[in-house]
C-alpha cells in the first residue's frame, strides 16, 4: 500500500485529500502538493473504516487534540469512553488515547469503537506498563516486544503515534552535563526510555532502528509524530541544551522519514515563556523543512495550576499565530489529577477558542465571521448572534439565567444599552455592508 505522501508525489489526488480540501475551502491539487512536500499530513489508518478525515499542517485551520486515558489509580474504561464522546461532541479534531492502567488492549479498542475522531497514542506507555507487570521492572522491557506492540496497536486502527525516537545517548549526555533541570523530566514515555537506556547501557532502539519504525508506520499509512521526551517542564528549562539536542534530532528524523515515504510530524515544546514561542516554532519549521508542528500546550507560566487550561490557551493563541499546526489541549486538572468529563469539555473549549484567535491573526481572510458576530451584537439581533458563536448553548444559558426586561438589551446595561443608543444616533450614517447588519 502506498502512503498519502507517496501518492501525492505521483500527483495522485486521493479521496482523503479531496475531503480535506473541501473542509478547508482550498483546491485539492494544492493539498496534494503540500502533502508531497511533507508540510501537510492526513492521519488515515485504513484499518479503521469509520474515521473523520483531518488535514494537519501549512495553510490549514489550526487543529485541536484532546487527550484521554486511564491511570494506575483510576482505570475506569466507561469514564474514558464518555470522555472520548465529549471530545467529539466538543469538536476536537483528533484524540489521543494515553492509558496506563487496566487492560490496555481493551481500553484502546473500546475508545476506537466509541468515536470517529482520528486516534493517536504513545506506544511506550503500554510497553513499559506491561514490562512492569511481567518483570516487576519496566527496565527489563524486551525491545522486540516494543516493535511487536507498535504493530498490534496499528492493526487496531491507531492513525498517529507519538514515538520517542529523538532521545539518544547524546541528548541524555546534554542533560547530565547541564546539571539536570528546574522542572525535571516530565514526559512519562521519555523518562521511562531514558531509564531503560541507562539501566541496559544501550542506545534507544527507536532511534537506532528508525527505519524499522518508519516501515511499520508506512504499512498502515499512519502519521509518525516524533515525541519530545525531553521537553521543558518549567519555563526556566525552556530551550536548554537537552531540549534543543532532541529537537535537532527530531527535525533530522522528520526529513529522513519523509524521504522514506512516511507522513511525519514533530512535537514540542512544553513549558515556554511567551516571548520564546515564536522563536521555537521558527526553529522547528526551519530545521524540519516545514514538517507539521504538534505543540503540547505550551504553558507560558508554571504557577497556574487549577487554571492551566487558561495558561495554555494564552500559549496556544500565540503558537497558532506563529505557525503551530496541531495543539494538544490542557485541562483544568493538568498537574493535579486525571481529567474528568467536565475537564475535557473545558479544555477543548479553551483551546479551540485560543486556536481561532491565533488563526484570525495568521489568516486575515478568516476575520469575516468576526465581522458578522460584531454586526449581530451591534444590532442586538440575538437569534442571529447565537448562531454565529463558537459556544451558542453556553451563551444562551447565561443570557436566559438573567433575562432583561428589555429583550433587546442585556442585564449588564439594561436601560443604558450603548448598542441601542448608538444605532439611534448614527442610523442615517450607516453605509455599505454595515447598513443592514445580520438578517
**Residue 433 grid cell:** 455592508
Neighbours of 377 (CB within 10 A): 17
In terms of Cα–Cα distance, which of 118, 121, 119, 126 is closest to 149? 126
Distances (CA, A) of 131 to 70, 178, 260, 349: 17, 31, 31, 37
- Of 317, 338, 362, the position where a domain reaches its end is 362
Structural domains in the chain (count): 2
- Whether residues 350 and 382 fall in one domain: no
* Whole-prediction pTM: 0.95
In terms of Cα–Cα distance, which of 281, 418, 338 is closest to 98? 338
Instruction: Look at residue 21 and tell me if it is in a domain.
Output: no
Instruction: Look at residue 13 and tell me if it is in a domain.
Output: no
Instruction: Look at residue 110 and tell me if it is in a domain.
Output: yes
Instruction: Look at residue 2 and tell me if it is in a domain.
Output: no
- Whether residues 244 and 148 fall in one domain: yes
- Whether residues 191 and 296 fall in one domain: yes
Q: How many CA atoms lie within 13 Å of 240's alpha carbon, on the beta-carbon side? A: 27
Alpha carbons 80 and 112: distance in angstroms, whole number: 11
**CA dihedral sign, ordered 168, 336, 270, 326:** positive
What does the pLDDT look like over 233-274, one tens digit per residue? 999 999 999 999 999 999 999 999 999 999 999 999 999 999
pLDDT in single tens digits along all 439 residues of the chain: 899 999 999 999 999 999 999 999 999 999 999 999 999 999 999 999 899 999 999 999 999 999 999 999 999 999 999 999 999 999 999 999 999 999 999 999 999 999 999 999 999 999 999 999 999 999 999 999 999 999 999 999 999 999 999 999 999 999 999 999 999 999 999 999 999 999 999 999 999 999 999 999 999 999 999 999 999 999 999 999 999 999 999 999 999 999 999 999 999 999 999 999 999 999 999 999 999 999 998 999 999 999 999 999 999 999 999 999 999 999 999 999 999 999 999 999 999 999 999 999 999 888 999 999 999 999 999 999 999 999 999 999 999 999 888 888 888 988 888 888 888 888 888 876 666 555 4
Query: The domain containing residue 63 runs over which residues?
Result: 42-362
- Whether residues 410 and 310 fall in one domain: no
Residue 51: CATH number of its domain: 3.20.20.540
- Whether residues 263 and 388 fall in one domain: no
- Whether residues 358 and 375 fall in one domain: no
Residue 436: per-residue pLDDT: 58
- Whether residues 337 and 398 fall in one domain: no
- Of 313, 334, 362, the position where a domain reaches its end is 362
Phi and psi at residue 165, to the nearest 5°: -85, -20
Instruction: Look at residue 298 and tell me if it is in a domain.
Output: yes
- Whether residues 377 and 355 fall in one domain: no
- Whether residues 261 and 353 fall in one domain: yes
- Whether residues 135 and 77 fall in one domain: yes
- Whether residues 326 and 385 fall in one domain: no
What does the pLDDT look like over 300-357, one tens digit per residue? 999 999 999 999 999 999 999 999 999 999 999 999 999 999 999 999 999 999 999 9
List own/partner pairs for 365-369 with CB under 8 A and 24 or more apart.
Answer: none
Instruction: Look at residue 23 and tell me if it is in a domain.
Output: no
Proportion of the chain in helix, strand, coil states, percent, rounded to 5: 55, 10, 35
Instruction: Look at residue 34 and tell me if it is in a domain.
Output: no
Residue 340: per-residue pLDDT: 98
- Whether residues 401 and 347 fall in one domain: no
Instruction: Look at residue 29 and tell me if it is in a domain.
Output: no
- Of 362, 394, 424, the position where a domain reaches its end is 362
Amino acid at each position: 500500500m502506498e502512503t498519502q505522501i507517496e501518492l501525492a508525489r505521483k500527483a495522485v489526488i486521493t479521496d482523503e485529500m479531496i475531503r480535506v480540501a473541501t473542509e478547508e475551502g482550498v483546491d485539492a491539487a494544492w493539498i496534494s502538493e503540500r502533502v508531497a512536500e511533507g508540510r501537510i499530513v492526513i492521519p488515515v489508518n485504513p484499518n479503521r473504516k469509520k474515521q473523520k478525515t483531518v488535514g494537519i499542517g501549512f495553510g490549514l485551520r489550526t487543529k485541536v487534540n484532546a487527550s484521554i486515558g486511564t491511570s494506575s489509580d483510576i482505570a475506569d474504561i466507561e469514564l474514558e469512553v464518555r470522555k472520548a464522546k465529549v471530545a467529539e461532541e466538543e469538536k476536537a479534531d483528533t484524540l489521543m488515547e494515553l492509558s496506563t492502567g487496566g487492560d490496555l488492549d481493551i481500553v484502546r479498542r473500546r475508545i476506537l469503537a466509541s468515536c470517529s475522531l482520528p486516534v493517536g497514542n504513545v506506544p511506550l506507555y503500554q510497553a513499559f506498563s506491561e514490562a512492569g507487570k511481567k518483570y516487576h521492572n519496566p527496565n527489563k522491557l524486551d525491545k522486540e516486544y516494543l516493535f511487536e506492540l507498535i504493530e498490534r496497536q496499528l492493526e487496531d486502527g491507531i492513525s498517529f503515534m507519538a514515538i520517542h525516537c529523538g532521545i539518544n545517548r547524546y541528548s541524555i549526555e546534554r542533560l547530565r552535563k547541564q546539571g539536570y533541570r528546574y522542572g525535571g523530566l516530565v514526559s512519562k514515555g521519555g523518562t521511562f526510555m531514558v531509564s531503560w537506556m541507562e539501566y541496559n547501557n544501550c542506545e534507544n532502539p527507536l532511534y537506532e532502528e528508525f527505519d524499522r519504525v518508519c516501515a511499520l508506520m508506512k504499512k498502515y499509512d499512519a502519521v509518525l509524530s516524533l515525541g519530545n521526551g525531553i521537553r521543558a517542564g518549567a519555563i526556566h528549562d525552556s530551550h536548554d541544551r537537552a531540549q534543543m539536542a532532541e529537537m535537532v534530532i527530531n527535525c533530522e528524523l522528520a526529513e529522513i522519514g519523509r524521504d522514506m515515504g512516511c507522513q511525519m510530524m514533530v512535537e514540542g515544546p512544553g513549558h515556554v515563556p511567551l516571548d520564546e514561542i515564536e522563536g521555537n516554532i521558527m526553529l522547528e519549521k526551519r530545521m524540519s523543512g516545514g514538517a507539521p508542528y504538534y505543540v503540547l500546550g505550551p504553558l507560558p507560566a508554571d504557577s497556574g495550576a487549577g487554571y492551566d487550561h487558561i495558561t495554555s490557551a494564552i500559549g496556544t493563541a500565540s503558537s497558532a499565530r506563529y505557525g503551530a499546526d496541531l495543539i494538544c489541549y490542557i485541562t483544568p486538572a493538568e498537574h493535579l489529577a486525571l481529567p474528568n468529563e467536565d475537564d475535557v469539555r473545558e479544555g477543548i473549549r479553551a483551546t479551540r477558542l485560543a486556536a481561532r484567535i491565533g488563526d484570525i491573526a495568521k489568516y486575515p481572510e478568516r476575520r469575516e465571521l468576526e465581522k458578522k458576530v460584531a454586526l449581530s451584537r451591534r444590532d442586538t439581533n440575538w437569534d442571529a448572534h447565537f448562531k454565529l458563536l463558537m459556544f451558542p448553548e453556553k451563551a444562551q444559558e447565561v443570557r436566559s439565567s438573567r433575562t432583561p426586561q428589555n429583550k433587546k438589551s442585556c442585564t449588564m446595561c439594561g436601560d443604558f444599552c450603548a448598542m441601542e443608543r448608538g444605532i439611534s444616533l448614527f442610523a442615517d450614517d450607516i453605509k455599505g455592508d454595515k447598513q443592514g447588519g445580520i438578517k
